[in-house]
Amino acid sequence: MQLNGSEIVIECLKEQGVDTVFGYPGGAILNVYDELYKHRDEIRHILTSHEQGASHAADGYARATGKVGVCLATSGPGATNLVTGIATAYMDSIPIVAITCNVGVSLLGKDSFQEIDITGITMPITKYSFIVKDVTKLADTIRKAFRIARTGRPGPVLVDIPKDVTAAVTEYEREELGKVTPDISQVSDEGISRALSMLESAERPYVFVGGGAVLSGASEEIREFVRKLDAPVADTLMGKGAFPGTDSHYTGMLGMHGTKTSNYGVSECDLLVVLGSRFSDRVTGNTETFAKNAKILQIDIDPVEINKNVIVTEEIVGDIREVLKIINRNLKQQDHSEWLEKIQQYKEKYPLKYHTDALTGPFVVEEIYRQTKGDALIVTEVGQHQMWAAQYYRFTKPRTLLTSGGLGTMGYGLGAAMGAKVGCPEKTVVNIAGDGCLRMNMNELATAVRHNIPVIEVVINNHVLGMVRQWQDLFYDERYSATVLRDAVDFVKMAEAMGAEGIRAESQEEFREAFAKALTLNKPVLIDCQIDSDDKVWPMVAPGADIKEAFDEDDLKNK
């Protein structure tokens, strides 16, 4: 049948099973929005307050559901406003498709009004960037974009469409969505055999779980693997929930703000099994001394990650879930009770702790955990509150912590929380924010109200840029350059002005009551939690130091 480009865009979205898009209209993309209006009963459009909010919402939708998230923007500044969200998704391997429209083909390259080379700009931060100048190639390009976004190591793809292409007419024929099969083409019997030999000869093995394990959907296989290997487990920020945080084998996060148990255990192990982690500097500390007593077995879908930051002993390139299925079938039951007992002693000696006599970030997170019974989708911004959420909320399922790990994007959380709630309407969705981050995205609270998206925004308000101030305290002789936010901004009034419920909490009891109320309201709620400006995230490893050099408040006092 004959369709114009805009009709083809919408039909291709329907082919891919897209039920929600996030975006902001403008002149260049107006034809697509006109067609979207005609299909509003089939595809829901969430009009955000800013295009960056749309890209983060598509990201949050993708992380929470496992589907491909979709965002739309017009040419020029509309398209460039997506860039930070696209980069956030790229760093964390999140499948989104960003569709932008540009000036007409004849106007490209002429500095036309609101023209920008968005494919050139986003090339380094996408798996692929397309510009479609021929309407006959539009349908296949959109299908290819979705296929690239969701296969192999997932990630964002951008499709830019000149306005005249959205109006041009060509023949369109519907295609059924093909099934995605996990890639284990590079997995050899010899590689599996070498891995099994390493696993069965280890005396002090440690399992280290990263974000790739979440994306692979390998949680069940990891639990079986850990039981058979009989080993302790640490994770990254991105790996939260791939292995249950309530399991006795679990020792907490690894790295700069990881537990002492995980940092000491990995430093002493003789085999480190790495499942879908890219060895971020925040995890490894000094790479020269990281796990220096251990052989390292790395399992990852992306060969680029092998030996990139840390040299490994053996690698298996392939989908983690499928690789572990093979290993689990062949791995003999191991017994490392003595090693696990030593790790347990570390857990008892070095528990996470905080001051319990005041309202603090850790208390807020633990109270959220108690009231949600550990069954919420937790979204965070970036900073101290992000680390407290990772430390004190015990994630037992994958896709339940949504956070910007690689890029560290302040302003990510509120958009992502809306996307997560739209994708998983039955779940309680809580965005844990800092007051600095809220200033970067609080306009999206109006979006949540406009579309009746009942997210709970919990603001850990210390009136400073907390994590930067912590570094200024510890490494810059308390020179608080541009990190103090004490001004007249009232977040409760701001929330109320936008149509949300605003509640202030200055004590533990006030927060208990405020959060309990928020759970009953079924509307956007902001809780402004007033905490001390000098509260810190403990433990901590100084940048570039050995992870064994983790220190906390007591260590500083005793130094």
Q: Is 130 a catalytic residue?
A: no
* Contact status, residue 34 vs residue 58, Cβ threshold 8 Å: no
SS3 state of residue 509: helix
Read out DSSP for 342-407?
Answer: HHHHHHHHS------SS--HHHHHHHHHHHHTT-SEEEE-SSHHHHHHHHHS---STT-EE---SS
Give me the catalytic one of 7, 11, 35, 51.
Answer: 51
Q: Torsion-angle region of residue 399: left (phi > 0), alpha (psi -120 to 50) or beta?
A: left
d(CA 229, CA 334): 5
Which secondary-structure segment (H or E) carries 527?
strand 525-530
Strands 2-4 and 169-171: antiparallel
Q: Angle between the 30-38 and 5-15 helix axes, to the nearest 10 degrees? A: 50
d(CA 39, CA 61): 20
| CB crowding 23-56: b at 16 or more within 10 Å, else e | bbbbebbebbbebbeeeeeebebbebbbbbbbbb
**Helices (DSSP H) in 180-259: which residue ranges?**
189-201, 211-216, 219-229
Give me the catalytic one of 163, 240, 421, 536.
Answer: 163
Q: Is 551 a catalytic residue?
A: no
SS3 state of residue 555: helix
Helix, strand, coil percent values for the chain (each to nearest 5): 40, 15, 40
* Contact status, residue 553 vs residue 260, Cβ threshold 8 Å: no
SS3 state of residue 219: helix
Strands 250-253 and 233-235: parallel
Give me the catalytic one of 38, 42, 113, 220.
Answer: 113
Give me the catalytic one of 198, 256, 442, 467.
Answer: 467
* Contact status, residue 60 vs residue 379, Cβ threshold 8 Å: yes
Q: Is 51 a catalytic residue?
A: yes
* Contact status, residue 78 vs residue 158, Cβ threshold 8 Å: no
Q: Is 113 a catalytic residue?
A: yes
> In terms of C-beta density within 10 A (0-12 exposed, 13-18 middle, 19 or more buried), how is residue 481 classed?
exposed
d(CA 195, CA 201): 10
Give me the catalytic one of 15, 114, 200, 342.
Answer: 114
- C-alpha dihedral (290, 291, 293, 298), degrees to nearest 10: -130
**Alpha carbons within 13 A on the beta-carbon side of 243:** 31
Q: For the chain, how many residues are written?
A: 559
- Closest C-alpha among 17, 34, 24, 60 to residue 414: 60
Active-site residue numbers? 51, 113-114, 163, 467
